[in-house]
Amino acid sequence: MIVNIKREKILEELLKVSRIISQRTLIPSLLGILIEVKKDKITFTTSDGDTSIKSEIPVGKDLVIKSIGGILIKNKFIIEVIRKIEDEFITLEAIEGSLVKIKANNFDSILNTLNASDYPHISFETEGKEITFNNNLLKEIISQTSFAIGEREKRIVFNGLNIRTDKANNLLVITATDSFRLACKKINYTSENDFDVIIPGKFINEIGKLLTENDDDIKMKISDKSVCIILNNTIIQSKIIEGKYPDTTKVIPENFVSLLTLNNRDLIKIIERASVLSNEAMTTIVTLKIKDNKVFITSFTQEIGNSEEEIKDFRLSGTDQTITFNSKYILDALKSFKTKEVTIKMIDETKPLIVVADEEPSLQQLVLPIRSY
C-alpha cells in the first residue's frame, strides 16, 4: 500500500472516524482505524461494536494511489504525527512487518500497526425503511432533543432517541428522556412506513457533529436491527436499541394552575448568573419564586453562597409558586428554543413544569422539580 494524499484531507477523515473509538472495548482490534486502499479510493473505518463509521476519499486531486492494500493502526499517534506535519501532501507506505511509514519533505516517521486481518467484518446496511429529513431540520431536531438522552441509564431505552410515527395526525414524534427531563419534537410527516424505534444517543450525537448548514435532503434507513445515514462521503450506522419506549404522553400534564411568559434570553442570563455559585462537582439548585405578582430566581449552593434576582418583564396568570429545579436541566430546555419568548407552565412544586413557545409549537420541554424540603 502506497498513497500520496493531501495532509489536511486525511487528517479531517481520521479525526472524524476516530471519535467513536471506545477505550473500554474488549476487542483489541477495535482500538484501531482500518485504512483500506483500493484502485479508486481510500477508506477509513472504525467501530465500537455498536456504532460504526466508514468514510472515503476518491482518487483525484487530493489522492494518488500507487499500490493497494490495507493497515490497522491506533488513532492517537498517526493523528498527532500528521497534525504536526506542515507540508501540503504526505505519503503513506505499508512496510512488511506490521509497520507504516509516513513521509513528507525532509520528514520520515515509522509507526507500528495492528493486524488488519483481526478487524471484525462490518456490513454497512443501506437498505430498509426510509425517513427523509431536510438537513437543517435534522440538525435542529438533534440540538433540541439529544441533550435529554440518558448516558448510562439502567433502563437502556432511555439511552436513545425514540422516533415514532403518529399516522393519525401525520406527525413524526421525536422524544428523549433520562427520566428527570424530557424533550419532545413533533414535525409534519406523511409516509406509508410506520416507525417506533430507539436510536442510540451516541449515533445521534455523531450525526449532529457531521451535519453542516445546507438544505439538502438526508435519508435515514431503518432495518430490523440497525439504522444508518449516508452523508456525502461518510456512512454511519448503529444497532437499534431493543425494547419498548415508554408512553411519555402519560407524564406530560395537560392542565396547569400557573402560566409565566417572559423573555427567553433574559431568563437564560438570569439563571446563568445564579449558576455561577457552583463548581464542577456541584449542581446548582435554582428556585423560581412567584409571590404577590413578583417573580424571583434564587439559588443556593452549600459552602459557597446564595443569590436572588427579580425578573421585571413578564406576563403571569394563576397562583403563586415556589418551584426548585436543577439549573442545567432548565437551561438546556430554554436554550433549545429559538424564540424571543417562552412560557413556563406549572402545577405545584412536586409536578413537572413544561416549557413551550407560541412561535415554536412543535417543541415541548419537561423538567422535573427537586424537592427542597
Do 102 and 92 touch, CB atoms closer than 8 A?
yes
User: Grid coordinates representing 133?
Assistant: 429529513
DSSP β-ladder status, 181-188 and 363-367: antiparallel
Q: Looking at 117-180, which runs of residues are DSSP E strands?
A: 129-134, 160-166, 171-177
AA identity, residue 242 = E
Q: What pTM does this model have?
A: 0.89
Q: Rounded to 5 degrees, what angle do the CA atoms 30, 36, 38 make? A: 160
Query: What one-character DSSP code corresponds to residue 1?
Result: -
Per-residue pLDDT tens, the chain, 373 aa: give them: 999 999 999 999 999 999 999 988 889 999 999 999 999 999 999 999 999 999 999 999 999 999 999 999 998 899 999 999 999 999 999 998 789 999 999 899 999 999 999 999 999 888 888 898 999 999 999 999 999 999 877 889 999 999 999 988 999 999 999 999 999 999 999 888 888 999 999 999 999 998 887 878 899 999 989 999 998 899 999 999 999 999 998 899 999 999 999 999 999 999 999 888 665 556 778 999 999 999 999 987 767 778 899 999 999 999 999 999 999 999 999 999 999 999 999 999 999 999 999 999 999 999 999 976 5
Do 109 and 82 touch, CB atoms closer than 8 A?
no
**Euclidean distance between CA atoms 246 and 254, whole angstroms:** 18
Residue linked to cell 477523515: 13
Do 201 and 183 touch, CB atoms closer than 8 A?
no
Note the helical H segments in the chain. Answer: 7-18, 75-84, 135-145, 201-210, 264-274, 327-335
